[in-house]
A and B are shown apart, each in its own frame.
Chain A
């Protein structure tokens, strides 16, 4: 018995040692280095809390270097850098960098970042409330405007589409009847200066009335219509040009690989399907992942069925 245990322990040590020889790559930088444009106090927080995975200079603790945990770390770093690399996004337009920071702050706020599995091991790696407040103060989404929004001419393809738009690149159909859908909610987005009208089809509306949205029933569909927020410089915001409409169509089986929802986005007045290929919806699922307890839906519907409604 004692000898068997010794043999087993020895085999374990040999396997562990052998595992150290398998060193998957952390990935290589995808583009030239261009650090995110942000003030020093913001950069310091990002470097302290995010750069360990989301940069060209990943930082691994000694215990991260030991396989098999190292294999998980390497995979996380590769995924992290593919999604967001603070060392490279400085090359993108200022608006895009700002949008990225908003997404990062929201992922932090929702507890999705740093990854809970990472925090389980790296106990002190979390963003502190003070650090989060610094990031939010820098972003200041609702800073009052003192001048009117410059007039923006309608997009070149301004003629409303007469024919139904084609399906999304991932096959999610364009719901031709979306203009007749009823309100779910509205959103004033200070982060990207848009107004959003969120609507739902009959199944979605009935689900809201019944309080049956956790999870939403199959067939429910939600539209998020985004238009420019036009500020008159005196605090009155009105709806400007149409930007895009996004859809979520629920089918737990059909869309099993994308959280039970078919995601689609159509941009501009010609309703051009978004994305380079059918996998564009990985962007959607990544962003919606923190809302898994809400069946991946960010919007909080206006109540129906009570009072006068």
Chain B
């Protein structure tokens, strides 16, 4: 059996070398890091460095949102979804759609929204109370 093992190893090595000759190039940066989802623009806070609390998805809109906090403020970042190139059956963040910020100030909540590419602060039209309440009501994932 020792002979068999040696020959098996030799044959495997030969096939491995054969395979190695046809291996593709190292992956592009865009296949290592999800550059499509970059939050370009002038956001007032480094939101991705905040603590992520929860993830939601809107199938109708084809978007996914993640809620962050720095302990005081909350930020809801919404991306369009894209197919995960590495896993059939999964979707990951694609292009950013908007960032909503809720800052507590003087006993009230200030609501700001950033959208477009690059992300730019928009004038809030109408009463933002509904959005403030919705974002404040989002429950974080309960982790053991």
Give me the interface of A with B, judged by CB distance under 8 Å: 19, 22, 24, 67-69, 71-72, 75, 102, 105-106, 109-110, 116-117, 120-121, 136, 139, 141-142, 144, 160-161, 178-180, 182-183, 185-192, 195-197, 199, 205, 208, 211, 213-214, 225, 227, 229, 231, 234-239, 242, 245, 268-271, 291, 293-294, 298, 300-304, 306-309
B8 contacts chain A at the CB level, 8 A cutoff: yes
Report the minimum CB–CB distance from A62 to chain B (whole Å): 17
B66 to chain A, nearest CB (A): 6
Task: Give Cα distance in the complex from A291 to B32, angstroms.
Answer: 11
Kindly identify which residue among A144, A211, A242 contacts B142, using a CB–CB cutoff of 8 Å: A242
19 contacts between A and B (CB under 8 A): A71-B11, A72-B8, A110-B86, A116-B22, A161-B144, A182-B48, A186-B64, A190-B91, A195-B57, A214-B27, A235-B59, A293-B27, A298-B86, A300-B32, A301-B33, A303-B34, A304-B49, A306-B38, A307-B41
Residue of B87, B93, B141 near A227 (CB, 8 A) is: B141
The answer to whether B43 touches A308, judged by C-beta atoms less than 8 angstroms apart, is yes
* A68 and B47 alpha carbons, distance in the complex (Å): 59
Partner of A185, one of B46, B81, B93, B144: B93
10 tightest A-B CB contacts, nearest first = A191-B89, A235-B59, A308-B43, A237-B57, A141-B89, A300-B34, A68-B7, A235-B60, A117-B15, A307-B40
Chain B residues near A (Cβ < 8 Å): 1, 3-4, 7-8, 10-12, 15-16, 18-19, 22, 24, 26-27, 29, 31-35, 37-43, 46-52, 54-61, 64, 66, 68, 81, 84-93, 118-119, 139, 141-144
Q: Which of A192, A245, A293 contacts B26 (CB 8 A)?
A: A293
Our pick among A121, A197, A242 for the contact of B144 (Cβ within 8 Å) is A242
Closest-by-CB residue of A relative to B84 is: A187
Contact, CB under 8 Å: A189 / B56: no
Q: Contact at B32–A141, with CB atoms within 8 Å?
A: no
Q: Shortest CB–CB separation between residue A137 and chain B, in angstroms?
A: 11
- Would A300 and B92 count as touching, CB distance under 8 A? yes
Assess whether B49 is in contact with A182, with CB atoms less than 8 Å apart: yes
In the complex, which residues of chain B have a beta carbon less than 8 angstroms from the beta carbon of A187?
84, 87, 90-92
Once A19-B7, A102-B89, A309-B47 are accepted as A-B contacts, the answer to whether A239 and B56 lie under 8 Å apart by CB is yes
- B4: chain A residues at CB < 8 Å are 19, 22, 24, 67-68, 71
Known: A195-B56, A242-B141. 4 other contacts (CB 8 A): A188-B55, A197-B55, A242-B142, A303-B37
In the complex, how many angstroms separate the beta carbon of A291 from the nearest chain B beta carbon?
A: 7
Residues of chain B contacted by A196 (CB below 8 angstroms): 55
- Who on chain A is nearest to B37 by CB? A302
Smallest Cβ distance from B79 to chain A, in angstroms? Answer: 9
What is the minimal beta-carbon distance from B85 to any residue of chain A, in angstroms? 8
Cβ-neighbour of B59 out of A105, A142, A309 (below 8 A): A142
Partner of A183, one of B32, B57, B68: B68
| Contact A291–B57 (Cβ < 8 Å) | no
- A303's closest neighbor in chain B, by CB? B38
Once A68-B7, A301-B33, A308-B46 are accepted as A-B contacts, the answer to whether A180 and B56 lie under 8 Å apart by CB is no
| Residue of A188, A205, A208 most packed against chain B (CB within 10 A) | A188
Identify A188's interface contact among B31, B35, B41, B81, CB under 8 A: B81
A162 to B66, CA, bound (A): 27
Does B84 contact A22, Cβ atoms closer than 8 Å?
no
Docked-complex contact A190 and B90, CB < 8 angstroms: yes
Which chain A residue shows the least CB distance to B30? A300
Q: Give Cα A199–Cα B50 distance, bound, in whole angstroms.
A: 11
| Nearest B residue (CB) for A116 | B19
How near does chain A come to B53, taking the closest CB pair, in angstroms? 9
Please tell me if the beta carbons of A308 and B41 are within 8 angstroms of each other in the complex.
Answer: yes
Within the complex, the shortest CB–CB distance from B113 to chain A, in Å, comes to: 14
